[in-house]
């Protein structure tokens, strides 16, 4: 099943996508797609509702992030062999983990805002894992039982802030609009293995990224298990699992986003995003 949230920013309503691709409102059944609602058992119950009994949402409303109440956004750096190769990095024995501020969250088609003083805003198409159950010290064999579903995320990154301004990656990963997620939360039964999904990204119609999750150094199950050894994962937590080669930083010479650019990206079975790039303004 494909779950989503629609409406103005900060006032999104829960919904699902019916087999014909129409949005059906879930507000009479759940307040929002957050907390206990994200447990895989609860999502299976919601998936059992006949879509035709739900109110039809007319038109093409704005889509927000498909999950509410996100506590932490985890990022995994250099997790694709192809991306590690293009950056000249040597794969490590454990994942490179960083975080993104939740204020970076945005809808899948909301604009990317170039932050003030930015010179190197970059793109990263990634598979996003949304946690559905409280998880601590889980082994790799059972780790996927904690997953509510999967989504597309663009791990937008300001490379100067990330790499040249000292401190940790979070400074270059957390600007407003730097974590567009969606369009949907797709439940695990529709995806099968998360380790065989195609990813792609275009900038102004030009293909920039093409990859497959089979190129991951650390699998989704490993990442969940690994993180759970150090902290408790909660429903709504998000894991951006890494990006394949083709980021702007890896081009020769490097290419970065500028106002007026259009970014399109997607992951097999999870839908696609489209973002127009705009300049930061004091009123933003």
Report the chain (284 residues): mean pLDDT per 10 consecutive residues. Answer: 97 97 97 98 96 97 98 95 78 92 98 97 98 98 98 98 92 98 97 96 98 96 98 98 95 96 98 97 66
CA distances 253 to 16, 248, 256, 258, 261, Å, are 43, 9, 10, 15, 18
d(Cα 27, Cα 15) in Å, to the nearest integer?
7
Alpha-carbon gap, residue 231 to 39, rounded angstroms: 19
Domains, in order of start, for the chain: 2-53 (no CATH), 73-279 (3.90.850.10)
At 254, phi and psi to the nearest 5? -60, 150
The predicted structure's pLDDT at residue 90: 78
* Composition of the chain by helix, strand, coil, percent to 5: 20, 30, 50
pLDDT at 91: 75
| Separation CA 93–CA 95 (nearest Å) | 7
Q: How many residues does the chain have?
A: 284
- Kindly report the backbone phi and psi dihedral angles of residue 6, in degrees, each rounded to the nearest multiple of 5, phi listed first: -130, 155
The one-character DSSP state at 110 is S
């Amino acid at each position: 099943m494909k779950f989503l949230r629609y409406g103005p920013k900060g006032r999104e309503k829960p919904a699902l996508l019916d087999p014909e691709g129409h949005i059906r409102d879930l507000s009479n059944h759940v307040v929002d797609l957050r907390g206990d609602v994200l447990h895989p058992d609860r999502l299976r119950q919601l998936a059992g509702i006949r879509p035709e009994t739900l109110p039809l949402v007319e038109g093409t409303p704005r889509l927000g992030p498909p999950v509410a109440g996100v506590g932490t956004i985890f990022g995994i750096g250099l997790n694709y062999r192809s991306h590690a190769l293009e950056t000249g990095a040597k794969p490590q024995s454990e994942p490179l983990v960083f975080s993104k501020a939740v204020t970076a969250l945005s809808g899948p088609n909301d604009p990317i805002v170039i932050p003030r003083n930015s010179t190197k805003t970059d793109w990263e198409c990634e598979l996003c894992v949304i946690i559905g159950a409280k998880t601590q010290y889980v082994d790799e064999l059972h780790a996927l039982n904690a997953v509510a579903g999967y989504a597309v995320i663009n791990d937008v990154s300001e490379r100067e802030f990330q790499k040249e301004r000292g401190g940790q990656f979070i400074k270059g990963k957390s600007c407003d609009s730097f974590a567009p997620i969606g369009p949907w939360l797709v439940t695990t039964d529709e995806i099968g293995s998360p380790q065989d999904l195609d990813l792609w990204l275009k900038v102004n119609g030009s293909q920039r990224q093409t990859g497959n999750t089979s190129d991951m150094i650390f699998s989704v199950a490993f990442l969940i298990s690994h993180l759970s050894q150090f902290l408790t994962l909660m429903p709504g937590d998000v894991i951006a699992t890494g990006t394949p080669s083709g980021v702007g930083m890896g081009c020769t010479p490097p290419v970065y986003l500028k106002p007026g650019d259009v970014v399109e990206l997607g992951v097999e079975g999870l839908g696609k995003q489209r973002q127009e790039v705009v300049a930061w303004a004091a009123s933003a």
